[in-house]
């Protein structure tokens, strides 16, 4: 076996071990990244919004995502229709990805995809 | 010379191996070849992955002398054959073993054609045979290859490129392919199902890269696929 083949096999086996660890810990702190990505995957757009606006959306019955509370510092992540978010003066759209900008936000409003494709 | 020209020239140069009845083209060139007229617009990587079922290994080895006219095995990585001309792509041989667990991997030792056999490729099934300028080659069924891409851990830049191959397959797949994917997914053990869904969330959040397919317009389809898999297949993609 060449050194490169040996290395690739060891890397593959290490990845499998890490994956098993990730799976076992999916409901614990290690699983937070998957849960956050899963929430973002359902969002057509993301907006940083002011805390007052986020609390207002929640008070209006918009769903909040519990994964926001599992992050430190905690975030308030609210799912709201894009039309409602458009009425929020503080809303600033950010790319839907794990950017520093999105992770630094204290409150996020996520617009879901409008219809099932 | 366009990428498509290089891909088609590589297929021609590797004809002796590609026309072995057991061999499949796997990997990043499959979406390119599935495009109408093998348009090859979904450029992700500059190599041609050739899947060799372990029970076809001896037959494929007998076809290697013709390959040596155009390629030479790499000293460092003997499953990679480097082209003699810059007009051709690298050829990368990978082993396939239907009896293997998807999380397993082993090396098939051989002086001429050693293979790394990755268990995720056991999910890949032979699909359509196509004719590329006189070379008959077999592609995998899109559902199995898509599942293989999603069930394999994808990290770093190479991981993103592999996920863009999955994206290309999602773009090219039809309703029957998604039905097949869902059936196969439901048969995976929970840990692997989780990996598939995790890969889809990563794919959903990939940034656009110059010269590669932009994943952002397909985020709706990725979200629908996630929902379908999680719902047990009730929703359509």
- Given this model, what pLDDT does residue B210 score? 78
Does B226 lie in the same domain as B127? no
Q: Looking at B140, B168, B194, which one is the last position of a domain?
A: B140
- Does A101 score more than 70 pLDDT? yes
In a domain, A117, yes or no: no
Residues in CB range of A104: below 8 A, 6 or more apart: none
Does B48 lie in the same domain as B24? yes
Q: Number of folded domains in chain B?
A: 2
Q: Would you state the structure tokens that stand for residue B164, as one six-digit string?
A: 């863009």
pLDDT digits (tens, 9 = 90+) for B108-121: 999 999 999 999 99
Percentage of residues in chain B with pLDDT exceeding 70? 96
Contact B152, B120 (CB under 8 A): yes
Does B31 lie in the same domain as B97? yes
Does B11 lie in the same domain as B76? yes
Does B197 lie in the same domain as B85? no
- Given this model, what pLDDT does residue A116 score? 47
- Given this model, what pLDDT does residue A7 score? 86
Question: How large is the average pLDDT for residues B15-20?
Answer: 96
- Considering only CA atoms, which of B115, B182, B119, B118 is closest in space to residue B146? B182
- Given this model, what pLDDT does residue B236 score? 65
Does B77 lie in the same domain as B20? yes
Question: How large is the average pLDDT for residues B172-183?
Answer: 95
Cα A12 versus chain centre, distance: 27
Question: How large is the average pLDDT for residues B87-115?
Answer: 94
The neighbouring-strand residues paired with B98 are none
Contact A76, A55 (CB under 8 A): yes
The domain of B120 spans: 1-140
Residue A9, min C-alpha distance to chain B (Å):
7
- Does A25 score more than 50 pLDDT? yes
| Higher-confidence position of A31 and B209 | A31
- Does B229 score more than 80 pLDDT? yes
- Does B237 score more than 70 pLDDT? no
pLDDT digits (tens, 9 = 90+) for A40-97: 999 999 999 999 999 999 999 999 999 999 998 899 999 999 999 999 999 999 999 9
- Given this model, what pLDDT does residue A117 score? 39
Q: Number of folded domains in chain A?
A: 1
Q: Looking at B140, B169, B190, which one is the last position of a domain?
A: B140
Residue B193, min C-alpha distance to chain A (Å):
10
- Given this model, what pLDDT does residue A115 score? 63
Does B89 lie in the same domain as B4? yes
Give the one of A4, A34, A42 whose C-beta lies nearest to B223's C-beta.
A42
Q: Domain holding B103: CATH number?
A: 3.30.460
Give CA–CA dist A86/A82, Å, rounded: 6
> Which residues in chain B touch residue A44, judged by CB atoms under 8 angstroms apart?
219-220
Q: Is A109 helix (H, G, I), strand (E, B) or coil?
A: strand
In a domain, A30, yes or no: yes
In a domain, A83, yes or no: yes
The domain of A104 spans: 3-112
- Considering only CA atoms, which of B52, B65, B138, B126 is closest in space to residue B96? B52
In a domain, A103, yes or no: yes
- Given this model, what pLDDT does residue B98 score? 94
pLDDT digits (tens, 9 = 90+) for B41-85: 887 788 999 999 999 999 999 999 999 999 999 988 889 999 999
Does B91 lie in the same domain as B21? yes
Question: How large is the average pLDDT for residues B86-108?
Answer: 95
Give CA–CA dist B215/A58, Å, rounded: 31
The per-type count for chain A, helices as H runs and strands as E runs, is 5, 5
Residues 159-218 of B with CB under 8 A from A: 190-191, 194-195, 197-198, 200-202, 204-207
Nearest-CA residue of chain A relative to B113?
A: A1
- Does A100 score more than 80 pLDDT? yes
Give CA–CA dist A11/B129, Å, rounded: 34
pLDDT digits (tens, 9 = 90+) for B181-219: 999 999 999 999 999 999 999 999 998 887 778 899 999
- Considering only CA atoms, which of B89, B236, B178, B4 is closest in space to residue A116? B236
Q: Looking at B93, B117, B140, which one is the last position of a domain?
A: B140
In a domain, A48, yes or no: yes
């Amino acid at each position: 076996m060449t050194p490169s083949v040996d290395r690739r096999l060891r890397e593959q086996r290490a990845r499998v071990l890490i994956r098993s660890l990730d799976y076992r810990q999916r409901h614990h702190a290690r699983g937070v990244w998957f849960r956050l990505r899963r929430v973002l995957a359902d969002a057509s757009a993301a907006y940083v919004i002011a805390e007052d606006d986020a609390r207002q959306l929640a008070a209006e019955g918009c769903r909040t995502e519990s994964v926001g509370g599992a992050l430190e510092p905690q975030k308030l992540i609210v799912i709201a229709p894009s039309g409602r978010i458009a009425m929020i003066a503080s809303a600033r759209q950010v790319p839907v990805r794990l950017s520093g900008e999105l992770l630094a936000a204290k409150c996020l409003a996520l617009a879901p995809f409008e219809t099932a494709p | 010379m366009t990428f498509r020209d290089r891909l088609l020239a590589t297929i021609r140069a590797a004809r002796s191996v590609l026309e072995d009845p057991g061999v499949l083209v796997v990997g990043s060139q499959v979406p390119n070849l599935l495009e109408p007229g093998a348009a090859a617009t979904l450029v992700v990587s500059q190599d041609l992955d050739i899947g060799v079922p372990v029970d076809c290994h001896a037959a494929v080895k007998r076809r290697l002398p013709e390959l040596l006219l155009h390629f030479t095995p790499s000293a460092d990585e003997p499953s990679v054959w480097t082209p003699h001309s810059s007009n051709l792509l690298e050829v990368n041989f990978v082993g396939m073993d239907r009896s293997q667990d998807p999380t397993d991997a082993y090396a098939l030792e051989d002086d001429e054609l050693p293979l790394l056999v990755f268990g995720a490729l056991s999910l890949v099934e032979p699909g359509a045979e196509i004719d590329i300028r006189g070379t008959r080659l077999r592609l995998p069924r899109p559902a199995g290859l898509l599942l293989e891409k999603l069930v394999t851990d994808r990290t770093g830049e190479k991981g993103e490129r592999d996920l863009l191959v999955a994206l290309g397959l999602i773009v090219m797949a039809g309703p029957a392919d998604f039905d097949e994917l869902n059936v196969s997914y439901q048969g995976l053990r929970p840990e692997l199902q989780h990996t598939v869904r995790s890969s889809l969330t990563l794919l959903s959040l990939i940034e656009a890269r110059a010269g590669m397919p932009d994943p952002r317009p397909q985020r709706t389809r990725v979200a629908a696929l996630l929902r379908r898999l999680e719902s047990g297949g009730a929703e359509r993609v």
